[in-house]
Amino acid sequence: MTAPEMKALLCDEPGKLTCVTRLRPEDKPGHLRIRIEAIGICGTDYHIFGGNQPFLQYPRVMGHELSGRAMADSADGRIREGDLVVVNPYLTCGECRACQIGKPNCCSNIAVLGVHTDGGMCEVIVVPEGNLYPAGDLSPQAAAMVEFLAIGAHGVRRSGLGAGTTALIVGAGPIGVGAGLFAHIAGAEVTLRDTSPDRLALAQAIIPSAKVELVSEMADTVYDTVFDATGNIGAMNAGLNYLAHGGNYVLLSVVKGDLNFADPEFHKRETTLFASRNALKVDFEHVMDCMARGLVPVDKIGTHRTTIEGAVEDLPKWAQDRGTVVKALIEVAA
């Protein structure tokens, strides 16, 4: 008897994508088989395609922003066959110190679907049951946006930002927009800063109450909380200059290089510096709750759509010009 097959989008090597047919993954104890319905294309996927993701082995099936339907009941009864689920793509060891103290998002041995192992740009995937969250009445497209929005929500939660405070988000890409949106939901007065007028226009459409400003025209203002979402070492080093005394500086982005702060200035302001990595279950749940309450304009965030076959041409095009792309989605036919 021939094993069932499925379609998958394979990054054979930097700059080369192919739609292939391969065997469906085998079942594993403690895992559920998920029929993928929607996949968000992340900056990491563009980096993998461009050959800019260190330590990655090709060929690779990308994709870690995932939603799909359970193909069986979960052992604990949380999930029933046919339920729509959000996939948490962070595969953790459960044994390191970070996992033991409730911070599996920064597990010492973390593996991310679509990066360290094959991901979800395919029709079927097998995922640990604990990494699956029921999506309720969300659409598959909205559910596929939860993971990337949870990254910004995690940073906002870590910052302790509250109602009536001011927040600056430097970098109006998807992660920055997510942080700005959840800072707004938390009650902060939000300003987004970027070098691209197109990105700022898209960001303001998503967060109408936010102020936006080009880097070339930025005001001489300081903020209670500053979030960096640029992935640019120069911008990250400059972020302290925009922070009010007693403020919090949150690094959502990561880049190779050294952060350099003048200690007298850092100390004088009693600055609190946070690195923010990935997200926790509570952040996924917060995003899903906000979506269910209508606080997340998913139709404005999901700007572009394609299929597994269409992504062979569309993903390289979007990688070259992301100025009008907030979140591109791959939709998988049932």
Strands 90-91 and 84-87: unpaired
Report the run of H or E that residue 205 belongs to, with start and end.
helix 197-206
Distances in Å between the Cα of 298 and the Cα atoms of 45, 134, 223 are: 21, 18, 28
Prediction pTM value: 0.96
The pLDDT profile of the chain, 334 residues, written as one tens digit per residue, is 456 999 999 999 999 999 999 999 999 999 999 999 999 999 999 999 999 887 789 999 999 999 999 999 999 999 999 999 999 999 999 999 999 999 999 999 999 999 999 999 999 999 999 999 999 999 999 999 999 999 999 999 999 999 999 999 999 999 999 999 999 999 999 999 999 999 999 999 999 999 999 999 988 899 999 999 999 999 999 999 999 999 999 999 988 889 998 899 899 999 999 999 999 999 999 999 999 999 999 999 999 999 999 999 999 999 998 888 999 999 998 7
What pLDDT score does 128 carry?
98
Strand spans (E) along 149-256:
166-170, 189-194, 211-214, 223-228, 243-251
| Encoded tokens for 202 | 């898209």
**What span, in angstroms and rounded, lies between the C-alpha atoms of 105 and 327?**
22
Tell which residue, 50, 180, 47, 173, has the closest CA to residue 115. Answer: 47
Which helix or strand (DSSP H or E) is residue 173 part of? none
* CATH 3.90.180.10 is held by the domain 5-145+296-331: yes
State the Cα–Cα distance between residues 264 and 268, nearest whole angstrom.
6
CA distance 257 to 105: 22
Q: Quote the pLDDT of residue 3.
A: 66
Q: What is the pLDDT of residue 219?
A: 86
Which residue's entry shows tokens 């991310």?
112
For the residues of 85-150, what is the DSSP string, one character each? EEE--EE--S-SHHHHTT-GGG-TT-EEBTTTB--SSBSEEEEEGGGEEE-TT--HHHHHTHHHHH
Contact 177, 206 (CB under 8 A): yes
Query: Considering only CA atoms, which of 202, 91, 227, 223 is closest in space to residue 152?
Result: 227
Distance CA 306, CA 94 (A): 36
**Domain spans of the chain, in order of start:** 5-145+296-331, 152-275
| Distance (Å, whole) CA 77 – CA 72 | 10
Instruction: Report DSSP state, residue 47.
Output: H
Report the number of secondary-structure helices (H) and strands (E) in the chain: 11, 18
Architecture in CATH for domain 152-275: 3-Layer(aba) Sandwich (3.40)
- Three-state SS for 252? coil
Closest CA to 206 of 175, 228, 229, 234: 175
